[in-house]
Chains A and B, each alone.
Chain A
């Protein structure tokens, strides 16, 4: 077993050898998102091309660089030139880049996103100047998309574990102090000061003490933790060592949801590497610190992201939360002092210890220091994983980084915090993104999910979607959550099919208050939030549904009627042929008509009606909507 400090030289030379390689290197972004986009086929093609040409080239599977909308991503290293990052690389593009750029002189600018490490080449600017990346500060995600997550040497070469070694020197008190000065707050959503959790656990009696990494990440649309675990698992594990040292734990668990098999696989490899390097077990790195880490897989329950339910799950029990107090820091896993931390919180620790609290707290807002990763999704032009300094405005995230709304439609709201969070409307776009500001606006930071909504999003439907999720995921233990969410969902469903009543809004408000106040755990306490924020900012949409039977966004299909304008219809029959339920009748060259009783609101007719006619239109309540072909096509596609 080699000691960690002996490994650095070896690691650095290996990494430098790769960076300055005489042979071509292709770094393919093959995390789960990349694979879903087709990175597997890209790598296969590269392999066959390399074999066919008999050249000496290397393919390195890396994690996610961030711009998921541009995947598959590939960084090509042509010896002697700056590395170039390419986007939307399919197998053909990869072959072309190999042929034209690596073996030729043409850098394939049409697919290039930018040069790595601040360089330029032939009009291709630095990657960090790309609009999606320009405002980002990639600290926690610094290694993702660059290193091979299954290579410990790559991690060590990026100063991996130096933070932990410094932590050993500082000792638990020193570490706590450093993290306190850094101002790190829990990134799981609650924003609780990390150092304080450790202190509670240190002060509590009981042994062994446990540190748990909560990698359950259940919010729909959230993939921050997954990307970090898949792209740079050692960063999280090093964080666990630091946290374990600070709180006095000797055992650690990574509770990772079973739906993340690649992350689990990478974690297992990383743990083996740690053991081989003396970073787990007794007398770690020659100190008297003993620590070991186990992986526990989740089993498909969102509620197990709640800390006491997570603890129950590790104990082999049904994942149901327990009343607090006692808090886990006093009595947690098997009754011992336990600290549960979010993956990203842990990912911040190596940097804080290595580079210091002053460096860390140099960015961020007054109350919220450092950076935060966000999973940017929804009706936005550039979706992906971004990391920004806290205090940045929503407008910058949505419009500068995210590129604004797809298809030129109007921005309506951004939903943060997943099913526990809320919607923030256009009037609040200049809100700084930090814990306090988001809470004051009626939402929460959450773990980083950020879903952008536009004029074609129905806020009643959004509330219904999130409430449907929490209703399904409710464990069923306490009455307010189990039944209260169902009562709210029933009300929302009635409203969305046109059976809403005037008293429903007040009723929703009252039920929501009861569920918030009466629920046992965070799931129930926050489940009404989507309803409450949409009622706060978009009450008019609810009222329209109820009093006019109108869904302005044309989402609630029971309230939408499809019609053909007889004066514009040219009788081409395209709609009639496309209708899957034969709801459209008409003779050739004569105006067609849609039978509303048969129509299933699929929108096919809307997309095929020729732009010269634009005869198909939708109504809802008092609203009539006629739109251009492009808008129609993209509207129907994204709804």
Chain B
């Protein structure tokens, strides 16, 4: 291998033959910014971040595509280069929601509210799923980008959530081409490519096919290389950066691919291939987390009492089971397991059967080609069985006197059992499994066990002790592994023995310990099933899958045709104007009041300020930001759909009088909320000044509407593309400093905005009211969920508010009240099924789609 000597930033370095300048520099610890270049992918040269100066070469060559040559003199950090890179990044940001990058209050905001909003369309870092990992954000900080050359452009590309497992928001795409290259080069698929030219260029599939139609196997490689939040793993996206990464092995099939499991607070959130050049299949990449965190995981031991299975503590369960099994030593006992259990588990099972139960009936079954293990043939005379999994037929179970099932999801067999013992899934244990070549592969615990579940070897070992005799001696997995005589178990990171698991649709119907993976992972239902690989379905399951895709017939809604959506429109990215038939609410509504909305019978009750109402038509208008599970349900409904319920008007209406000079400030959804207040204040004879705040010019709305009710309208934008540069409270502060008479300020927006408004007006002693929106349940003063502290006293936003003296509000507590269930919502919002399957409602038709929602 030829080596060349060259100089980079006055440092003498050596490059390998054919190595490009970027790789050479990075290898020597010299940081050159780069976005489109990526390990293992061919050079692209499109982002222009890695431009350098090379003596003797014209212009600014891209270091990622320039081979190192003998004697080259390279400079990477000149002032001209920094300026060029900053300008180019500025261009990139023109087509990427960027207001947070240039916002003067960013540090303060991110301190107050560190986690991003779970938006549909991302309109800034504050609502981006990749906030913690975004390369562009990092670059903007490194290059000190603070200003943009022109008004930014929001491309208004469709938000793509109709594929299973992954979301694609092309409005965040910077066209680095990593996804295109990884699909073509590493996966050999070329499912996605550049489509269109110039500013219309975007990533897409041939002939506008969907990803499924274009043959995407959902290996997730594109998601893993995306530097922004454009491509995201639907299940994992809102969890933020993992706090732990564990190397282990995927146990979903005998390929046994090396896996890196990412977890947050002990919960699996996503998985990745441990071998960057070998992608995973849809099971290994997208199904592990949702499977492991399946909602029906068995969490506690169950003991049958009559017709019911009762939750019981481990000690008692094992004692009772031991007492029962003591009656069935020898041939009347059998233990059934399959070979997808770990070697350690199976050693313990075998020793339990032969040494403790003194039985010859250790039955170890092997799965067939589809991964399904056919039920065991029990020898005659067996009357007590421990089945590690769903491994004997219902008929056989009926003929037993004692049945204990060790499993991690309930099955028809466990429903019939006398004892149900909750065990673990492969990400939760240490152990060893065998792959298709009978080679040993290690499992490492990447997540905490769910509930009180225990590894199967542990359950059986504890049972052996409960049986009174000298039990099995194992204290930990290591001791069992040692006994197995496996001297060396290594993680094969560069395995070349078998090719990468290519598109294998049969895997969509994968089994793990006789559990259909797709039962837990709804996204898999959308992949095509291959002929000949169909697997037996229970009648109930067949019907459920059929109805999941059928058009539901109109069934009466719980609301019996009331609360119909008259119209719904996305008026600015991620914000919807929804008009609903609610004549009783409209009739009584007053400025400042809100209503509580339930999208369907099982959804959250969410408060929304009434933006407008029409007593003649009997409609109310709400401005809804899509930022979580419940707002998502609402905004995905169509005109003609019926909501489950609308309660209102609620809250104490704003006190309207002739105060003199009134300043109303509205930020984001708050702009919609101040409409009725402006109307009422104007009618009462006030001089009304409306200050609206939006991220950028394309996020401003209702300008004409508000102008009709205001004497003065001052727009402000974070990036300065419309009106004043900065926030609404900056405008308020400047006016107060200039001595403009202000009698009352009413602020409606996020708590951060209202809090800062209060700070701005406090020195001038101007009365400032804020409309608080903590979580609510009943909205009529009974449950206390909406409690907040004002002036040291506990108040309830629903009956004491929603307007409070902003100078008296404990803003930190408001934030804490609003984020109380954030972790749970992050879990619930990430079902992998596409939006079409998982979230679409037609007025609560009762189809299986509901079962997929939390």
On A, residues with C-beta under 8 Å from B are 301, 303, 318, 320, 322-323, 325-326, 471-480, 482-487, 490-491, 507, 510-511, 514, 517-520, 525
8 contacts between A and B (CB under 8 A): A318-B193, A476-B196, A477-B44, A480-B88, A511-B149, A514-B84, A520-B48, A520-B62
Known contacts A320-B194, A476-B199, A479-B47: does B67 contact A490 (CB below 8 Å)?
no
Query: Taking A476-B194, A478-B46 as contacts, is the C-beta distance between A486 and B149 under 8 angstroms?
Result: no
Query: Beyond A514-B91, A518-B88, is A479–B46 a contact (Cβ under 8 Å)?
Result: yes
Interface centre among B43, B67, B199 (most CB of A within 10 A): B199
Interface assignment of B469: CB less than 8 Å from any CB of chain A:
no
Cβ-neighbour of B94 out of A475, A478, A483 (below 8 A):
A483
The chain A residue with its CB closest to the CB of B47 is A479
Q: Which of A322, A472, A490 lies in contact with B151, CB distance below 8 A? A: A490
* Given A303-B197, A323-B62, A475-B198: 12 more A-B contacts, CB < 8 Å: A322-B45, A323-B61, A326-B67, A472-B197, A476-B175, A476-B201, A478-B45, A478-B47, A479-B48, A483-B91, A486-B199, A514-B91
In angstroms, Cα B91 to Cα A518, docked, is: 11
Residue pair B194, A323 in contact (C-beta under 8 Å): no
Q: Convert B35-75 into 0s and 1s, putting 1 for each residue whose CB lies closer than 8 angstroms to a CB of A.
A: 00000000111111001000000011110011100000000
Q: Give complex CA distance A320, B45 in Å.
A: 11
Residues of B within 8 A of A486 (CB): 94, 153, 198-199
Q: B51, B66, B95: which contacts A518 (Cβ < 8 A)?
A: B51
Q: Which 6 pairs between the two chains have the least Cβ-Cβ distance?
A: A476-B201, A323-B65, A323-B45, A483-B91, A474-B198, A514-B87
Least CB distance from B67 to A in Å reads: 7
In the complex, the answer to whether A487 meets B91 with C-beta atoms within 8 Å is yes
B91's closest neighbor in chain A, by CB? A483
Cα-based distance from A330 to B43 in the complex (angstroms): 18
Mark B residues whose CB is within 8 Å of A.
Answer: 43-48, 51, 59-62, 65-67, 84, 87-88, 91-92, 94-95, 149-151, 153, 174-175, 177, 193-194, 196-201
Which A residues lie within 8 Å of B150 (CB)?
Answer: 487, 490-491, 507, 511
Q: Knowing A471-B199, A476-B175 touch, does A484 contact B91 (C-beta < 8 A)?
A: yes
Which A-chain residue is minimally distant from B83 (CB atoms)?
A514
Q: What is the chain A residue whose CB lies nearest that of B48? A: A518
Cβ contact within 8 Å between B91 and A479: yes
A471 pairs with B46, CB closer than 8 A: no
Question: Cβ of B149 and Cβ of A507 under 8 Å apart?
Answer: yes
Chain A's closest residue to B64 (CB) is A323
B789 CB to nearest chain A CB (Å): 48
Bound Cα distance A490, B95 (Å) = 13
Residues of A within 8 A of B45 (CB): 322-323, 477-478, 520
Which residue of chain B has its CB nearest to the CB of A516?
B59
- Beyond A477-B46, A478-B45, A486-B199, is A517–B84 a contact (Cβ under 8 Å)? yes
B199 contacts A482, C-beta separation under 8 Å: yes
CA A517 to CA B67, docked complex, whole Å: 20
* CB <8 Å contact, B46 and A520: yes
What chain A residues lie within 8 Å of B177 (beta carbons)?
477
B198 in contact with A471 (CB, 8 Å): yes
The residues of B that contact A325 with a CB separation of less than 8 Å are 61, 66-67
Chain B residues with CB under 8 A of A323: 43, 45, 61-62, 65-66
Q: Across the interface, which residues of A come within 8 angstroms of B51, CB to CB?
A: 518
CB distance from B178 to the nearest CB of A (A): 13
- Separation in Å of the B21 CB from the closest CB of chain A? 11
Q: What is the distance, in angstroms, from A471's C-beta to the closest C-beta of chain B?
A: 6
With CB as the reference atom, state the residue of chain A lying closest to B95.
A483
Chain A residues with CB below 8 A from B62, complex form: 323, 520
Complex contacts, B175 vs chain A, CB 8 Å: 476-477, 479, 482
* Complex alpha-carbon distance, A517 and B82, angstroms: 13
Closest Cβ neighbor of B81 among chain A residues: A517
Please tell me if the beta carbons of B92 and A483 are within 8 angstroms of each other in the complex. Answer: yes
For A474, the closest partner residue in chain B by CB is B198
| Chain A residues whose C-beta falls within 8 Å of the C-beta of B48 in the assembled complex | 478-480, 518-520
- Residue from A318, A471, A477, A525 whose CB has the most chain B CB atoms within 10 Å: A477
Chain A residues whose C-beta falls within 8 Å of the C-beta of B60 in the assembled complex: 517-518
B residues in contact with A511, CB < 8 Å = 87, 149-150
**Beta-carbon contact of B199 and A483 below 8 Å:** yes
By a CB distance below 8 angstroms, the chain A residues around B91 are 479-480, 483-484, 487, 514
Determine the distance from Cα of A60 to Cα of B827 in the docked complex, in whole angstroms.
80
Q: How far is the CA of A200 from the CA of B65 in the complex (A)?
A: 21
**Residue from B59, B87, B194 within 8 A of A510 (CB atoms):** B87
Residue of A nearest to B51 (CB): A518
Most buried by B among A320, A474, A514, A519: A514
Chain A residues near B153: list those with CB within 8 A: 486, 490
Q: Which residues of B contact A514 (CB under 8 A)?
A: 84, 87-88, 91
Smallest beta-carbon distance A537→chain B, Å: 24
Distance, CA A517 to CA B45, complexed state (A):
14
Q: How far is the CA of A384 from the CA of B719 in the complex (A)?
A: 50
Contact A474 B197, CB 8 Å, known A479-B91, A487-B91? yes
Interfacial chain B residues near A510, Cβ < 8 Å: 87, 149
Cβ–Cβ < 8 Å partners of B43 in chain A: 323
Tell me whether A475 and B88 are in contact (CB under 8 A): no
Q: Chain B contacts of A303 at CB under 8 A?
A: 197
Q: In the complex, A94 Cα to B199 Cα: how many Å?
A: 50
Cα A425 to Cα B667 in complex, Å, equals: 52
Please judge, given known A-B contacts A478-B48, A487-B94, whether A473 and B197 are in contact too, CB under 8 Å. Answer: yes
- Residue of A301, A322, A519 touching B197 (CB-CB under 8 A): A301
Measured CA separation A484–B94 after assembly (Å): 9
A482 CB contacts on chain B under 8 angstroms: 175, 198-199, 201
Q: Which A-chain residue is minimally distant from B20 (CB atoms)?
A: A323
Which residues from chain B contact A326 at a C-beta distance below 8 Å? Answer: 67
CB distance from B595 to the nearest CB of A (A): 41
Bound Cα distance A525, B58 (Å): 12
Other-chain residue from B61, B88, B193 in contact with A479 (beta carbon distance below 8 A)? B88
Which residues of B have CB within 8 Å of A475?
A: 197-198, 201
B94 contacts across to A, CB distance below 8 A = 483, 486-487
CB distance from A480 to the nearest CB of B (A): 6
Alpha-carbon separation in the docked complex, A64 to B197 (Å): 34
Chain A residues near B174 (CB-CB < 8 A):
479
Q: Which residue on chain B has the smallest CB distance to residue A524?
A: B48
How distant is the Cα of A139 from the Cα of B589 in the complex, in angstroms?
Answer: 87
With A and B bound together, what is the CA distance between A427 and B798 in angstroms?
A: 77
On whether A517 and B59 interact (CB within 8 A), knowing A472-B198, A477-B175, A484-B91, the answer reads yes
Q: How far is the CB of A519 from chain B (nearest CB, A)?
A: 8
* Given A479-B47, A487-B150: A518 in contact with B87 (beta carbons within 8 A): yes
A241–B87 alpha-carbon span in the complex (Å): 47
A155 to B664, CA, bound (A): 83
Residues of B within 8 A of A517 (CB): 59-60, 84
The complex places the Cα of A487 from the Cα of B201 at a distance, in Å, of 16
Chain A contacts for B200, CB-based, 8 A: 476
In the complex, what distance in Å separates the CA atom of A199 from the CA atom of B91?
40
Whose C-beta in chain A lies nearest to the C-beta of B180?
A318
Q: In the complex, which residue of chain B has the Cβ closest to the Cβ of A319?
A: B197
Question: A487 — which chain B residues lie within 8 A by C-beta?
Answer: 91, 94, 149-150
How far does the alpha carbon of A217 sit from the alpha carbon of B663 in the complex, in Å?
Answer: 61
Could you tell me the distance between the alpha carbons of A544 and B455 in the complex, rounded to whole angstroms? 81
Q: Which residues of B contact A479 (CB under 8 A)?
A: 46-48, 88, 91-92, 174-175
For B197, the chain A residues whose CB sits under 8 A away are 301, 303, 472-476
- The minimal Cβ–Cβ distance linking B205 to chain A, given in whole angstroms, is 14
CA distance A514 to B201 in the complex (A): 21
Q: Which residue of A lies closest to B94 (CB)?
A: A483
Q: Which residues of A contact B44 (CB under 8 A)?
A: 477
Most buried by B among A326, A473, A478: A478
User: CA separation between A477 and B43, bound complex, in Å?
Assistant: 13
- Taking CB atoms, residues of chain B closer than 8 Å to A472 are 197-198
In the bound complex, what is the Cα–Cα distance between A325 and B88 (angstroms)?
22
User: Bound complex: CA of A518 vs CA of B201, how far in Å?
Assistant: 19
Which residues of B lie under 8 Å from residue A525 when comparing CB positions?
59
